[in-house]
A = this chain, B = another copy of it.
Amino acid sequence: MKLEALRIANRSARKFIDMGALTRLWNLVKNFHPVDIVSLMDHLVFREKLILFNTLYEKEKEKAAEVLSELEPEDSAQILKELPVEQISGLFHLVPSDDVAPILDLLPEEMKESVLASMEEKPSEDVKELLHYEEETAGRIMSPDFYALNHNTNISDAITAMQLEGDVESAFYLYVVDNEDHLVGVVSLRQLLFARPNTPLKEIMTRDVISVRTETDQEEVARNVADYNIVAIPVVDSENILVGVVTVDDVIDIIDKEATEDIYKMLSLDSTYRIQDSPITSIKKRLPFLMISILTASLAPFVVNYFKGTIQQFITLAVFMPLVAALGGIAGNQTIAIMVREIAVGQANWISVRKALLKEILVGIGNGIILGSVLAAISYFIIGNPILGLVLGLAIIINLFIAALLGTLIPLFLKLIHIDPALGSVNFLTMCTDTIGLLAFLGLGTLFLKYLI
């Protein structure tokens, strides 16, 4: 839906809600795609969201259920908290269980219990099962709905069996299992459509099925789907028994989230930070990290304090301090960004680690020498002091070397000890480049002081 149309719809929706004209509200949105209703809700205040959601529920429960599937789990939970338990469990029967699980998990414990108790056995079991896997694993995000049939089934029986099972949301493959339910093959629905009716599945199936285990990290699941260009990946348990499927739409969500997380974590930002949060919530989310940055940013002042005497004698050193710090920070942040992304999209591994480190250091020294020389020349021409140029140039070379070394090592080291390679690395690196850069600059300044004055 185009932005302009959405903007107009939003204005009308607010008017209808204000007027209590709920039938007109329903007429406005009833033909909207659930995704567009969610976009509309994004720009309503909570009270308005609730009214809109209740209107959907009154008029067409299925529509309300579709909107629940599309909303962020946090938003769904916030709305459901206001509804009676029977209404919630009624809605949950209409929502795929892989979408129910994360919402349910956010409801207050007592409410969660009563909802699960009031749901029918089958869906309630499905949801409970998903909830027992760890967060951010394949088991947690998989859908327990998929087509799977024995490898001896022939095509026409397979189609009949699938018809009887009914429609499975976004199913593009039929998985093939052996007599012990082990996953042994996959057939695309396109192949089914084109094969002769009496062929057994095992004759047309692809045997090299790419699958993941229930405990596989969701990021690795996403990478597999992305790398092998498939639209769904089967999830198996420790005995290779098929237990679920992760579809590409979930994979896209994961990739988007991980990319945002990479950036946010690099900059020590809470990855749940959202633009819709209230100012108070935002301050609360950002403050702890800023407080930590007081600590990391307080190391450089100690260095400067140590060289107070030198600065006092040649105040021009103070003038160039921000330049040394800024250039080291910029070069280091670039290196960190490169490493974090290369690790994320799976390029940085084994052989590359040593190569990458060596290369970045060479690049750092190379750029340092060029940049340092340029700066030395400029400052010589402007200030007319060749020794100051030399000190500045050398400090830049040292700082860019440090930036390259630590910019590569910090993310790799964090990955090695199984911490997110992005986590706070920019803050930490800025601390190092500020400190070491100023140490080099003021140290060299002290060394050459008698030639400077």
Contact = CB atoms under 8 A, between A and B. Distances in A.
Complex copy number for this chain: 2
Interface in A384-424: none
Contacts of A298: 323
Interface stretch (A122-130, A237-245, A267-275): A267-275
Contact of A331 (B172, B273, B290, B359): B290
A294 to B, nearest CB: 7
Interface in A349-376: 349-352, 356, 359-360, 362-363, 366-367, 370-371, 374-375
B352 A275 contact: yes
Interface stretch (A86-94, A136-144, A334-342): A334-342
Nearest to A356: B275
Interface in A311-347: 311-312, 315-316, 318-323, 325-327, 329-331, 333-334, 337-338, 340-342, 345, 347
A116 interface: no
Contacts of A374: 291, 294
Given A263-B262, A330-B427, A338 B291 contact: no
Nearest to A340: B263
A6 B202 CA distance: 29
Secondary structure dominating the interface of A? helix
A187 to B, nearest CB: 12
Contact of A318 (B35, B290, B318): B318
A352 B43 CA distance: 8
Interface stretch (A16-24, A47-55, A278-286): A278-286
Interface stretch (A56-64, A104-112, A222-230, A444-452): A222-230
Interface stretch (A73-81, A177-185, A251-259): A251-259
A267 B363 contact: no
A156 B198 CA distance: 17
Contacts of A131: none
A42 interface: yes
Contacts of A256: 226, 255, 259, 345
A275 B6 CA distance: 42
B323 A300 contact: yes
A27 interface: no
Contacts of A290: 327, 330-331, 367, 371
A230 B283 CA distance: 37
Interface string A175-201: 000000000000001101110000000
A305 B319 contact: yes
A341 B258 CA distance: 11
B304 A322 contact: yes
Contact of A268 (B43, B330, B348): B330
A119 interface: no
Interface in A157-181: 159, 162-163, 167-168, 170-172
6 contacts: A43-B351, A162-B193, A276-B347, A286-B334, A318-B318, A330-B427
Interface of A: 3, 6-7, 10, 31, 33, 35, 42-43, 159, 162-163, 167-168, 170-172, 189-190, 192-194, 208, 210, 225-231, 248-249, 251-253, 255-256, 259-260, 262-264, 266-269, 273-276, 278-279, 282-283, 286-287, 289-291, 293-294, 296-298, 300-301, 304-305, 308, 311-312, 315-316, 318-323, 325-327, 329-331, 333-334, 337-338, 340-342, 345, 347-352, 356, 359-360, 362-363, 366-367, 370-371, 374-375, 378, 426-427, 430-431, 434, 438
Given A43-B350, A252-B255, 16 more contacts: A3-B349, A35-B227, A172-B189, A189-B189, A267-B333, A276-B347, A279-B363, A282-B359, A290-B330, A294-B378, A300-B322, A304-B319, A304-B321, A308-B315, A308-B316, A308-B318
